[in-house]
Chain A
Amino acid sequence: MSARENILARIGKARGPAAAVDVDLAIRRRQRGPIPALDKDIVKLFGERAVKLASDVTRAGTITEVPGLVASYLRERDLPMKGVCWPVMALLDWQDTDTDIEIESRAARGDDLVGITGAFLGIAETGTLMLLSGVQTPATVSLLPETHIAVVEAGRIVATMEQAWDRLRVERGALPRAVNFISGPSRTADIEQTVTLGAHGPYRVLIIIVG
């Protein structure tokens, strides 16, 4: 017998025949667990919680303001005025921002220092960005560069992860290859339990809330 058959046989034997449940039904029901009470103003809450987890947060009136905000964020911190963005964001007016910002649209490489992405949703409960991988939204852009800048529409901020799953099911049907929830810069506390920002991923995350 194969390992698979042996393992399944042992489990089945331990349970006995009577107790089996209808797994399909249990999964289809998608019962939600208890949810913590949250502030009604979820855009405000999202911003507050994101800041608590060491993200920088700023607001933009419209999407056209994004290139200018990116440029001033990088300039203020003396960061390179050069980066990579999701192909889906290539249409933004990066050149015409009376700045010297140079943005290429592609997947990130090991030496890219700034990565600009959108976000599928924001989740207010924890101040978390939800990014989906895809042809136009390569996962490396939010990961390899030292600075990650993410743009999220105010109207696409939901209260909880449960709501995010519902939106994903409605809008996309199936899960993409990778759903990445991001809550601030990468960090480690492995040395003497001391939190240090910038482990293997970004050292800083700027979230631009549009609208």
Chain B
Amino acid sequence: MQVTAMHFKRKAGENLRNEKLQKALEKLQTKFVDGRAVAIAELPNFEEIRDAATDIRDKVIRNLDRYLLRFEQEATARGAVVHWAETADEVNRIVAEIAHQHGLHKVVKSKSMVSEECGLNDALESQGLDVLETDLGEYILQLAHEPPSHIVAPVVHKSKEDIADLFEEKHQRPRTTQIAELCREAREMLRPGFLSADLGISGANFIIAETGSVLIVTNEGNGRLATTLPRVHVAITGIEKVVPTLEDVTTLLRLLPRSATGQSITNYVSVLTGTKEKGELDGPQHFHIILLDNGRSKLLGTELQPMLRCIRCGACMNHCPVYQNIGGHAYGWVYPGPMGSVLTPSFVGLEKALDLPNASTFCGACAVVCPVKIPLPDLLRQLRTRQVEQQLRPRQERAALRLWSWMAQRPAVYALGTRLAARLLRAFSGSTKRFRYLPGVTGWTSGRDMPAPAGRTFRDMYRSRRSS
């Protein structure tokens, strides 16, 4: 997927002024934030489970190669073919080769954020394959030619009226804005696609080393259809998704749906191992699993290593005051919100996503809700440090910080400077005692006024109180 994270500021500004988007984003708060709170209150030992889940993820990440090799061994023994890919392009090439090798033309896909990383749909379409997204949200986005704006609820930025317009245009059926009817319409349009597809592509929420299995959680059932009906199934996932045992994955399943959508369990949890057995009436004959690196292994051994624990629940973005106000598209790549602000610079390069580590108020809500305790604000701070070290910040900002640092190390100069600034700002603030415009830092005053200082510095006031 094309990276447009460099346009973050402009897009964030546009989205703040987009009333329809603002209305759509309100739903996140009531459904996801409140839903999660209720689901977690029902689990009295939530914190204990959260600690155990964090340990499981850390244990795997510390020995990622061993667990991946064990997974490969078990999956291969059951008849699956395991492929390794260093880059997105390699994934696209492998899938195209599989399609060619088996003579496949019609693809049904269940939701996979890793395939979004790869831009897989475009790559397969350019090879002449027919690709159909089957998750309702992803299907809507495919019709609208838009990227997802949330990793769990990809179409959260659209209203039912938007979707009604889109369906009317693309399906040539009478317009309806009833949500249940829109869902039925999509089901009827997609069912023939499932029945005629010869290649099913899915992601994997987890892969299990003990059994060589791929685990997929879905609510709609499209994940099950895409991995049951076509004669070939390709699962694409990141190398960090491995867990040791069925017991471990069960612990993680107590947290993933609760953190994501406030469900105690998703409607379907499918554990897929190997290919169709002899005499079985349904199921794929060939099962390929692609393990993608794409920058993940580079995080190992760095301060950003805890990010590899992520189980993609989306709780961090649901609770982020920045995401809640600007939506996912502004982040400019596959992963939005706090987790995306760490992943995007890590995967595509810090220089291409300069604003993302700064797109945080550091309120800490993301770290509080993360089911695997990723210290997201610390990781964002780490990326900010790297930006400064690599001289990636704008010259003006660097000069300002150098000046401040020089002054801060000279108390007398600092005291004089702040005293002058406080008085001057006070004097120029006029009768309102507020600034509607500040030259050089217009971004600060474009959405709110800056109150003028009291005219005296803290140190002045402290001194006068002590002496009185």
Contacts and interface: CB of A to CB of B under 8 A. Distances in A.
Chain A contact residues (Cβ within 8 angstroms of B): what range? 35 or more
Contact of A10 (B224, B245, B278, B298): B298
A193 B136 contact: no
Nearest to B297: A10
Contacts of B78: 174
A61 interface: no
User: Chain A at the B interface: mostly helix, strand, loop or mixed?
Assistant: loop
A3 B211 contact: no
A29 B376 CA distance: 32
A37 B43 CA distance: 9
Contacts, number: 259
Contact of A140 (B163, B180, B187, B229): B229
B462 to A, nearest CB: 50
B200 interface: no
B159 interface: yes
B195 A110 contact: yes
A40 interface: no
A100 to B, nearest CB: 26
A128 B224 CA distance: 16
B243 to A, nearest CB: 10
Nearest to B29: A193
A92 interface: no
A33 B53 contact: yes
B154 interface: yes
B251 A33 contact: yes
B340 to A, nearest CB: 20
B32 interface: yes
Nearest to B24: A192
A164 to B, nearest CB: 9
A5 to B, nearest CB: 9
Given A14-B297, A177-B275, A177-B276, A143 B281 contact: no
Interface stretch (B57-65, B325-333, B367-375, B415-423): B57-65
Contact of A126 (B246, B265, B291, B301): B265
A156 to B, nearest CB: 18
Contact of B247 (A8, A31, A107, A174): A31
Given A7-B84, A107-B282, A190 B270 contact: no
Contact of B224 (A161, A180, A190): A180
Contact of A133 (B67, B137, B140, B283): B283
Nearest to B270: A180
Contact of B267 (A26, A139, A165, A184): A184
B53 to A, nearest CB: 7
Contacts of A23: 63, 66-67, 70, 209, 244
B224 A201 contact: yes
A139 B283 contact: yes
26 contacts: A10-B300, A14-B301, A21-B63, A30-B246, A33-B250, A36-B49, A53-B267, A106-B281, A110-B192, A126-B264, A134-B280, A138-B280, A139-B282, A174-B211, A177-B276, A178-B283, A180-B270, A182-B267, A183-B264, A186-B219, A190-B153, A191-B158, A193-B32, A198-B184, A200-B134, A200-B220
Interface of A: 2-4, 6-8, 10-12, 14-15, 19-21, 23-24, 26-27, 30-34, 36-37, 49, 53, 106-107, 110, 126, 128, 133-135, 138-140, 143-144, 160-162, 165, 174-194, 196, 198-202
Given A143-B224, A188-B137, A188-B220, 13 more contacts: A3-B90, A10-B297, A11-B239, A53-B267, A140-B228, A179-B271, A183-B265, A190-B155, A191-B158, A191-B160, A191-B182, A198-B187, A200-B191
Closest 3 CB pairs of A and B: A201-B221, A33-B251, A199-B220
